[in-house]
Amino acid sequence: MTDLAIEARGLVRVFGSNRAVDGVDLAIPQGEIYGFLGPNGAGKSTTVRVLCTLLTPTAGTALVAGHDVVAQPGEVRIRIGLALQDAALDDKQSGREILDLQARLYGLETAARHERIERAIELADLGDAINDWVRTYSGGMKRRLDVAASLIHDPEVLFLDEPTTGLDPVSRVRVWEEVRRLNEDHGVTVFLTTQYLEEADALSDRVGIIDQGRIVEEGAPGDLKRSVGADVIVVELFDELDRAAAIARTLPTVDDVTVGSQGLTISTGNGAAVVGEVAVALSEHGVVTQSLTVRTPSLDDVFLRATGHRLSNEVGE
């Protein structure tokens, strides 16, 4: 019996000439929250659909809860929960009716069904609104109900595909709290796709950064950020990015320089001490800067180093 909840080797999914998933390898232990981070079109949702048996891989293999997604799709489906970007809820049913239907579809006996429904109602935290039609619910209420419904059968693995996209900040935090509780109290393995940097950072034991169908970085958020450096200096420039990068690399106190579309990210051990040196060196060579900012590294800096562009710019954060 494997201790991996999800295992993929050389996973590929092709649509015509588009390799949406291009050789993805995954090894996700049971009980882990794994954040799958990347911009729209990077291959996040396609990977989820393959792992959930909604799409057949073009090449490669994948096991979920110990079962092959191609050879044993039924065994996989009974062991997973799935909440996609758009909640699949009938607006003309009440929240309670949706939970009851979900329990019946999974074949739960009467006693187990009632117990699971009550637990799901507590999880959804909708109060008396659980008896109202879903069409009266806010986006956050629908999302919590969808997550609760996906857990009605006690899945081993929960797939959440951008669960907080479009939600207000308060509803987003509520979803985060529920994800943590499910993982900590019930040991559910969570595969969380997101385009929000702070979401991946706050929730994930490990993150995988995907770009153009390939995983370009993977590790614990803290480890990935520390690998960038103790501090980063962000230099915004009008032009001459390559020349500015070459100048910065000559400074002995600079550890690394990454060129982005709108400037440089400089890794260093002491940003406060080095920022002045960088400013003077660029000025002496006639390079005009818009701004220089010192801060601690973020997952966006990790993404920039791995891909050459910032995720925050692509998703409008």
Residue where a domain terminates, one of 186, 220, 254: 220
Q: Domain check: are 194 and 282 in the same one?
A: no
Q: Domain check: are 174 and 266 in the same one?
A: no
Give bridge partners of residue 158 from the DSSP assignment: 81, 190
Tell me whether residue 225 is in a domain: no
User: Greatest CA span in the chain, whole angstroms?
Assistant: 78
* 38 vs 314: CA distance, rounded Å: 9
Tell me whether residue 304 is in a domain: no
Q: Domain check: are 89 and 171 in the same one?
A: yes
Domain count along the chain: 2
Distance (Å) of CA 52 to CA 115, 136, 303, 310? 26, 30, 26, 29
- The per-residue pLDDT for 241 is 94
Global pTM value? 0.85
Type and span of the H or E element at 77 = helix 73-77
Distance of CA 138 to the CA centre of its chain: 23
Residues in Cβ contact with 221 at an 8 Å cutoff, skipping those fewer than 6 apart: 35, 200, 201, 204, 206, 207, 299
- The per-residue pLDDT for 312 is 67
Tell me whether residue 84 is in a domain: yes
- The per-residue pLDDT for 245 is 96
Q: The domain that contains 279 carries what CATH number?
A: 3.30.70.980
Q: Domain check: are 26 and 92 in the same one?
A: yes
Q: Domain check: are 93 and 192 in the same one?
A: yes
Q: Domain check: are 247 and 277 in the same one?
A: yes
Tokens of 220: 């614990």
Q: Domain check: are 160 and 291 in the same one?
A: no
Q: Domain check: are 37 and 153 in the same one?
A: yes
Tell me whether residue 301 is in a domain: no
- The per-residue pLDDT for 135 is 93
Strand order in the sheet with 18-29: 18-29, 4-15, 59-64, 67-68
Tell me whether residue 313 is in a domain: no
Q: Domain check: are 214 and 147 in the same one?
A: yes
Give bridge partners of residue 15 from the DSSP assignment: 18
Tell me whether residue 23 is in a domain: yes
Distance (Å) of CA 17 to CA 82, 118, 183? 28, 48, 38
Cβ-count burial 50-87 (b if 16+ within 10 Å, e if not): bbbbebebeebebbbbbbebeeebeebbebbbbbbeeb
Q: Domain check: are 243 and 175 in the same one?
A: no
Cβ–Cβ < 8 Å for 83, 163: yes
Q: Domain check: are 196 and 123 in the same one?
A: yes
* 31 vs 181: CA distance, rounded Å: 12
Q: Which domain holds residue 265?
A: 230-296
Q: Domain check: are 275 and 213 in the same one?
A: no
Residue where a domain terminates, one of 220, 245, 272: 220
Q: Which of 202, 214, 209, 301 is nearest to 259 (CA)?
A: 301
> pLDDT 10s per residue in the chain (317 long)?
569 999 999 999 999 999 999 999 999 999 999 999 988 889 999 999 999 999 999 999 999 999 999 999 999 999 999 988 776 788 899 999 999 999 998 888 988 899 989 888 887 888 899 999 999 998 888 888 888 898 888 899 999 988 887 777 877 887 888 888 889 988 899 999 988 888 999 999 999 999 999 999 999 999 999 988 889 999 999 889 999 999 999 999 999 999 988 899 999 999 999 999 999 999 999 999 999 999 999 998 998 888 888 886 665 44
